[in-house]
Amino acid sequence: MADRDPGGISPLQQMVASGAGAVVTSIFMTPLDVVKVRLQSQRPSVTSGKCLLYCNGVLEPLYLCPNGARCATWFQDPTRFTGTMDAFVKIVRHEGTRTLWSGLPATLVMTVPATAIYFTAYDQLKAFLCGRALTSDFCAPMVAGALARLGTVTVISPLELVRTKLQAQHVSYRELGACVRTSVAQGGWRSLWLGWGPTALRDVPFSALYWFNYELVKSWLSGHRPKDQTSVGISFVAGGISGTVAAILTLPFDVVKTQRQVALGAVEAVRVSPVHADSTWLLLRRIRAESGTRGLFAGFLPRIIKAAPSCAIMISTYELGKSFFQRLNLEQPLSQ
């Protein structure tokens, strides 16, 4: 590809700008992500049968109880969450404020390179599609966004699984390593991509919807202003609106992804052979049967509260970084 994109900056500079945005966004948004994962990972308790397998949905591993009656106190566990604010209060009260940033190192390790690859791939793909007239300018953001996200999801899926595990259950990095090694030994390397399907079903449509709406809203807010002179404020507003719409439409797939990834380690807890994972559609039906339609939108509030500011902060930081490098390149002409 060309050394410089149509906006006047190189792919390397695009990666630096998007990486900086990823760091800022992760630090501010991780608490909301932790709450969302906790709400999505706790499931209705089931008391029928000879034994009771109970995941309290907080920072604890799965428990195997041989006698449901003796374990009745689990159902009154004070850290069982009833909503977003309830989750915030109980996490801070019972586990400390630092818990809200659990999994942040894994989040940074995952999001910085993933976001750098994703945003750079999007801009390069959009320029390529428009330059070769392979699709219309109207559809190019949607196609480029979907393709860029599909590649990024595939590369980063194992780290996404690790991050979800750290946020949903209070395990040390050593315990997590043992959990991952056991999973690989039992299910092969493919087990590290557990949840790839629902993650792709969530992220690829999210990306397509996000970039399509972002470019549309940004163009509408900018009026006749040139595309490369869009203000940071316009990018912030357009990013927030687009992120909210995309997050609402793809939330059921996010719930499936979380439940499937939190299941990593359940095999070790009950010491049984790994079973074939249900398809995404079967999981959607099961969640709806167990928890109703509301179950498909578990974690709605924290996801929406997170989506709007995180998308707004990320895209505006990225655009700010691009503007900085554009000015820098104008002041320092390209050397031969």
pLDDT tens column, 89-115:
888 888 888 888 877 876 787 788 889
Report if residue 289 sits inside a domain: yes
Asked whether the CA dihedral 7, 12, 17, 19 is positive or negative, the reply is positive
b/e string for 247-266 if b means 16 or more Cβ within 10 A? beebbbbbbbbbbbbbbbbb
Q: Cβ contacts of residue 141 below 8 Å, gap of 6+? A: 126, 211, 212, 214, 215
What's the pLDDT score for residue 244? Answer: 93
What's the pLDDT score for residue 188? Answer: 73
Q: Cβ contacts of residue 166 below 8 Å, gap of 6+? A: 102, 103, 106, 176
Report if residue 49 sits inside a domain: no
CATH (domain of 129):
1.50.40.10
pLDDT over 90 (residue 34): no
Report if residue 57 sits inside a domain: no
Report if residue 71 sits inside a domain: no
| Of residues 179 and 85, more confidently modeled | 85
Rounded CA separation 39/44 (Å): 11
What's the pLDDT score for residue 270? Answer: 47
Report if residue 61 sits inside a domain: no
pLDDT over 90 (residue 276): no
What's the pLDDT score for residue 236? Answer: 94
Report if residue 118 sits inside a domain: yes
What's the pLDDT score for residue 113? Answer: 85
Whether the Cβ atoms of residue 179 and residue 49 lie closer than 8 Å to each other: no
Rounded CA separation 47/51 (Å): 8
Give mean pLDDT, residues 13-37.
86
What's the pLDDT score for residue 38? Answer: 80
Report if residue 69 sits inside a domain: no
Rounded CA separation 250/207 (Å): 10
Phi, psi angle pair for 127, to nearest 5°: -65, -40
Beta bridge pairs of residue 63: 54
Phi, psi angle pair for 37, to nearest 5°: -65, -40
What's the pLDDT score for residue 79? Answer: 61
Give mean pLDDT, residues 34-55.
53
User: What DSSP state is assigned to residue 75?
Assistant: G
Structure tokens at 266: 């359940």
Give mean pLDDT, residues 290-307.
79
Region of poorest pLDDT, from 130-144, 185-199, 226-240: 185-199
- Range of the structural domain that residue 325 is part of: 11-36+80-329
Rounded CA separation 127/2 (Å): 10
Domain count, the chain: 1
pLDDT tens column, 156-200:
777 766 666 665 665 666 666 776 777 677 767 777 776 677 678
Q: Specify the residue for token string 């398809």.
A: 279
Report if residue 75 sits inside a domain: no
Region of poorest pLDDT, from 86-100, 127-141, 224-238: 224-238
pLDDT over 60 (residue 279): yes
Give mean pLDDT, residues 71-87.
60
pLDDT over 80 (residue 35): yes
Structure tokens at 278: 């249900």
Does the global pTM surpass 0.85?
no
